[in-house]
A = this chain, B = another copy of it.
């Protein structure tokens, strides 16, 4: 048993903005020493399922479409029901991220759905761990957590901008989440070893 956290990122993306966030979560977690597998769950393979089943933490990601995760993400979520029945993901850690064109709106619904999915799977949840930015007149849109989300990392990319223009502050926020998940997962793994669990 190792204290190197194995993290699976289970996500979908429409026009690759969410992919940019997935890579930022990966980079943040890798910086902290995690072994990260990035999985597009709309085309998940047996290897992808194995990576999720073997992961210590799973980070869910999706664009927010029509007030929730993408249809493709939900098809994936429904297909985890057999794992739910056998409690395969029990006690893993979970976290989440999303992107939308709107500043706010229903990204909260998407992140809240991810927390519900994790709860169903008997996982525990890692929140973002950041104060809000851009919430006084002397702060700016370049702050970490500039939109003020708390249960995950949320980005806003204007609908007409390509994926390489996801805002740097949102990328940095997603990296922060990746580091935090890796750090917390390391602690849990070390604790289980220390207690002989």
Contacts and interface: CB of A to CB of B under 8 A. Distances in A.
Contacts of A134: 102-103
Contacts of A146: 103
A158 B135 contact: yes
Counted per complex, copies of this chain come to 4
B104 A80 contact: no
Contact of A71 (B3, B74, B128, B131): B74
Contacts of A119: 67, 127-128, 150-151
A112 B70 CA distance: 17
A127 B62 CA distance: 22
Interface string A52-81: 000000000000011111111011111111
Given A66-B80, A102-B132, 6 more contacts: A67-B150, A74-B75, A105-B108, A108-B108, A109-B116, A190-B192
18 contacts: A3-B195, A66-B81, A66-B117, A67-B113, A67-B116, A103-B103, A103-B135, A106-B108, A112-B112, A120-B150, A122-B129, A136-B159, A137-B160, A187-B188, A187-B197, A188-B188, A190-B195, A191-B194
Interface of A: 3, 65-72, 74-81, 84, 87, 90-91, 100-109, 112-113, 115-120, 122-132, 134-139, 146-151, 154, 156, 158-161, 184, 186-195, 197
